Chain A
Amino acid sequence: MLKVKNLKAGIEDSQILKGINLEVNAGEVHAIMGPNGSGKSTLASVITGKEEYEVVEGNIDFEGDDLLELSPEERAQKGVFLSFQYPVEIPGISVSNFIKTSISEQRKATGMKPMTTKDLLKMMRDKMELLNIKNGYLSRNMNEGFSGGEKKRNEIFQMAMLEPKLSILDETDSGLDIDALRIVANGVNKLKNKNNATIVITHYQRLLDYIVPDFVHVLHNGRIIKSGGKELALELEEKGYDWITKESDKKWD
Chain B
Amino acid sequence: MSEKKKQSEDELLEKVTSTEYKYGFTTDIESDTIPKGLSEEVVRIISSKKNEPEWMLEYRLNAYKTWLEMEEPNWANVNYEKPNYQDVIYYSAPKQKPVLDSLDDLDPEMKKTFDKLGISLEEQKKLANVAVDIVMDSVSVATSFKETLSEKGIIFCSISDAIQEHPKLVKKYLGSVVPTRDNFFSALNSAVFSDGSFCYIPKGVKCPMELSTYFRINEAGTGQFERTLLIADEGSQVSYLEGCTAPMRDENQLHAAVVELVAMDDADIKYSTVQNWYPGNDEGVGGVFNFVTKRGICYKNAKISWTQVETGSAVTWKYPSCILKGDNSIGEFFSVAVTNNFQQADTGTKMIHLGKNTKSTIIAKGICAGKSNGNYRGLVRISKGAANSRNFSQCDSLLMGDKCGSHTFPYIEVKNNSSKIEHEATTSKIGEDQLFYCNQRGIGTEEAIALIVNGYCKDVLNQLPMEFAVEAQKLLEISLEGSVG
Residues of the B chain whose Cβ atoms lie less than 8 Å from the Cβ of A198 = none
Cβ-defined partner of B440 (8 Å) among A52, A82, A109, A141: A82
What are 6 sample pairs from A and B whose C-beta atoms fall under 8 A apart? A51-B432, A52-B432, A73-B438, A98-B438, A101-B443, A105-B441
Task: Check if A137 is an interface residue, CB within 8 A of chain B.
Answer: no
Contact A84 B437 (CB under 8 A): yes
| Complex contact A88–B455 (CB within 8 A) | no
A51-B441 contact given A91-B428, A92-B453, CB 8 Å threshold: no
B361 interface hit (Cβ, 8 Å): no
Contact residues in B for A105 (Cβ distance below 8 Å)? 441-444, 447
Interface of A is mostly: mixed
Q: Which residue of A lies closest to B459 (CB)?
A: A92
Task: Known pairs A73-B442, A91-B456; list 19 more (Cβ under 8 Å).
Answer: A48-B440, A49-B439, A50-B436, A51-B436, A52-B432, A76-B442, A77-B442, A89-B428, A89-B434, A91-B398, A91-B426, A91-B455, A97-B451, A97-B455, A101-B451, A105-B442, A105-B447, A109-B442, A162-B441
Q: A139-171 interface mask toward B, CB cutoff 8 Å, 1 = contact, 0 = none?
A: 001001000000000000010001000000000
Q: Does B251 contact A (CB under 8 A)?
A: no
A139 to B: closest C-beta gap in Å: 12
Contacts A91-B452, A92-B453 given; indicate if A76 touches B441 (C-beta within 8 A): yes
Contacts A92-B456, A93-B452; A102 near B434 (Cβ below 8 A): no
Q: Which size bracket describes the interface of B in this complex?
A: 20 to 34
Would you list which residues of chain A between 43 and 88 have a CB under 8 Å from chain B? 48-52, 71-73, 75-77, 81-82, 84, 87-88
Minimum CB–CB distance for A143 against chain B, Å? 9
| B454 close to A (CB within 8 Å) | yes
Tell me the smallest distance from the CB of A129 to a CB of chain B, in Å: 22
Minimal beta-carbon separation of B164 from chain A (angstroms): 49
Does B433 touch A at the CB level, under 8 Å? yes
Q: Looking at the complex, which one of A87, A102, A144 makes contact with B442 (CB distance below 8 Å)?
A: A102
Q: B225: shortest Cβ distance to chain A, in Å?
A: 37
- Taking CB atoms, residues of chain A closer than 8 Å to B452 are 90-93
Q: Chain B residues near A106 (CB, 8 Å)?
A: 442
Q: How far is the CA of A72 from the CA of B434 in the complex (A)?
A: 13
**Interface: A94 (CB within 8 A):** yes
Specify which chain B residues have a CB less than 8 angstroms from the CB of A72 in the assembled complex.
436, 439-440
Give bound CA distance, A92 to B437, whole Å: 15
- Give the docked Cα–Cα distance between A13 and B363 (Å): 46
* Contact call B443/A90, Cβ cutoff below 8 A: no
* Cα(A50)–Cα(B433), bound, Å: 9
Distance to closest chain A CB from B451 (angstroms):
5
Contact assessment for B398 and A87 in the assembled complex, using a CB-CB cutoff below 8 Å: no
Cβ contact of A92, chosen from B433, B436, B442, B454, cutoff 8 A: B454
CA A92 to CA B399, docked complex, whole Å: 13
B428 and A101 form a contact (CB under 8 A)? no
Q: A residues within 8 A CB of B456?
A: 91-92
Report whether B442 and A158 are in contact in the complex, using a CB–CB cutoff of 8 Å.
Answer: no
Contacts of A76 in B (CB 8 A): 439-442
Q: A residues within 8 A CB of B445?
A: 73
Contact assessment for B436 and A90 in the assembled complex, using a CB-CB cutoff below 8 Å: no
User: Distance (Å) between the CB of A5 and the closest chain B CB?
Assistant: 22
Q: Which of B177-223 contact A (CB under 8 A)?
A: none
A142 shortest CB reach to chain B, Å: 8
**A93–B451 touching, CB < 8 Å:** yes
A73 touches B443 (CB 8 A): yes
B455 touches A158 (CB 8 A): no
A88–B447 Cα distance when bound, in Å, is 17
Which B110-165 residues have a C-beta within 8 angstroms of A?
A: none
6 closest A-B pairs (Cβ-Cβ)? A92-B455, A92-B456, A72-B439, A91-B428, A76-B442, A102-B441
A170 to B445, CA, bound (A): 23
Q: Which of B444-475 contact A (CB under 8 A)?
A: 444-445, 447, 451-458
User: What chain A residues lie within 8 Å of B439 (beta carbons)?
Assistant: 49, 71-73, 76
A93 near B455 (CB under 8 angstroms)?
Answer: yes
CA distance A75 to B444 in the complex (A): 11
Contact of A87 among B437, B457, B458 (CB under 8 A): B437
Supposing A88-B433, A89-B428 touch, asked if A94 and B440 sit within 8 A by C-beta, the answer is no
Interchain CA distance A105-B447 in the complex, whole Å: 10
Residue of A with least CB distance to B439: A72
Residues in B whose Cβ lies below 8 Å from that of A48: 440
Residues of A within 8 Å of B442, CB to CB, are: 73, 76-77, 102, 105-106, 109, 162
Q: Which residue of A lies closest to B444 (CB)?
A: A73
A73-B443, A76-B442, A101-B447 as given contacts; A88 in contact with B454, CB under 8 Å: no
Complex: A155 Cα to B107 Cα, angstroms: 47
Most buried by A among B434, B438, B453, B458: B438
Smallest beta-carbon distance B483→chain A, Å = 15
Distance of A92 Cα from B441 Cα, bound (Å) = 17
Complex-state Cα separation, A87 to B453, whole angstroms: 19
A77 to B438, CA, bound (A): 12
